[in-house]
């Protein structure tokens, strides 16, 4: 028999591109943790670390443990830099940070699905698997990440579904970055599963100079929560994007 339905809104804070380093004077974590009172869930949309080192990730998890709330994350390109991503996931397995890599989680009746995503560009200019093997491999990575996202969303049976990505699924939230960089900041291939599963909202990072929000072709809200971007556009506001979801399915 199902338990009682929650009556209070689920307060979700989302941020990306923390780029944590072990040097205390370089850490933004104290600023983040001090502003998260009253938050129910923290989402970290990639680039948890700066150099992709296991010790950076472990140190971040230890600092965030004071929050005592669920923390869901996806890895970003910086987290792959030192080729320690698998060791990093193993090291974080028993930490407060749960890494989603084609996986899903449910918290108070809200579903969360995560994948890193990848590049290849947007719309009619998206890179196709044509020509040299290295180009085909590059595109294959983007396709596999989109499939991961779709697989994770398919696991959810909740009415409200939140997607975590590092790379952008739409071009609107990378606008402001140099046009030459757009193909490396995300992929339209990530948009299709968001639309197909009627996602409530999607969060990503990576585009430090992009726009804070946009929508997919079917109207799914997409939020760029890169920390450098948020600190620039809301210097006096919290260093995260807040989304409140109520039991009746509405959000703010």
Residue-level pLDDT, tens digit, the chain, 252 residues: 444 555 789 999 999 999 999 876 666 788 888 888 899 999 999 999 999 999 999 999 999 999 999 999 999 999 999 999 999 999 999 999 999 999 999 999 999 999 999 999 999 999 999 999 999 999 999 999 999 999 999 999 999 999 999 999 999 999 999 999 999 999 999 999 999 999 999 999 999 999 999 999 999 999 999 999 999 999 999 999 999 998 665 566
Question: Which DSSP letter does residue 160 get?
Answer: E
Residue 14: count of CB within 10 angstroms of its CB: 25
Residue 6 belongs to a domain: no
Residue 182 belongs to a domain: yes
Domain membership of residue 220 as a residue range: 11-245
Closest CA relative to residue 60, chosen from 103, 22, 90: 22
Residue 251 belongs to a domain: no
- How many domains in the chain? 1
Residue 217 vs residues 122, 131, 154, 221: alpha-carbon distances, Å: 12, 30, 20, 10
Residue 3 belongs to a domain: no
Residue 252 belongs to a domain: no
Residue 206 belongs to a domain: yes
Q: The domain that contains 97 carries what CATH number?
A: 3.60.21.10
State the pairing for strand pair 71-74/97-99: parallel
Residue 250 belongs to a domain: no
Residue 237 belongs to a domain: yes
pTM of the shown model: 0.94
């Amino acid at each position: 028999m199902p338990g009682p339905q929650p009556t209070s809104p689920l307060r979700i804070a989302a941020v990306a591109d923390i780029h944590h380093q072990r040097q205390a004077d370089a850490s933004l974590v104290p600023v983040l943790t001090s502003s998260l009172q009253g938050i129910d869930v923290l989402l970290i949309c990639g680039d948890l670390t700066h150099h992709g080192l296991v010790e950076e990730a472990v140190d971040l998890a230890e600092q965030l443990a004071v929050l005592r709330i669920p923390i869901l994350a996806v890895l970003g390109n910086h987290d792959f830099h030192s080729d320690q991503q698998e060791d990093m996931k193993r090291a974080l397995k028993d930490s407060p940070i749960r890494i989603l890599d084609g996986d899903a989680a449910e918290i108070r009746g809200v579903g969360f699905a995560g994948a890193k995503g990848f590049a290849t560009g947007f719309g009619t200019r998206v890179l196709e698997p044509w020509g040299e093997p290295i180009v085909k491999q590059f595109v294959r990575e983007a396709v596999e990440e989109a499939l991961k996202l779709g697989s994770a969303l398919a696991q959810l049976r909740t009415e409200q579904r939140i997607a975590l990505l590092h790379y952008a699924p739409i071009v609107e939230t990378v606008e402001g970055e140099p046009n030459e960089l757009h193909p490396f900041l995300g992929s339209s291939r990530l948009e299709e599963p968001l639309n197909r599963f009627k996602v409530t909202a999607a969060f990503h990072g990576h585009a430090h100079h992009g726009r804070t929000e946009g929508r997919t072709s079917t109207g799914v809200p997409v939020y760029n929560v890169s920390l450098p971007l948020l600190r620039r556009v809301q210097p006096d506001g919290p260093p995260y994007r807040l989304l409140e979801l109520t039991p009746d399915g509405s959000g703010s």
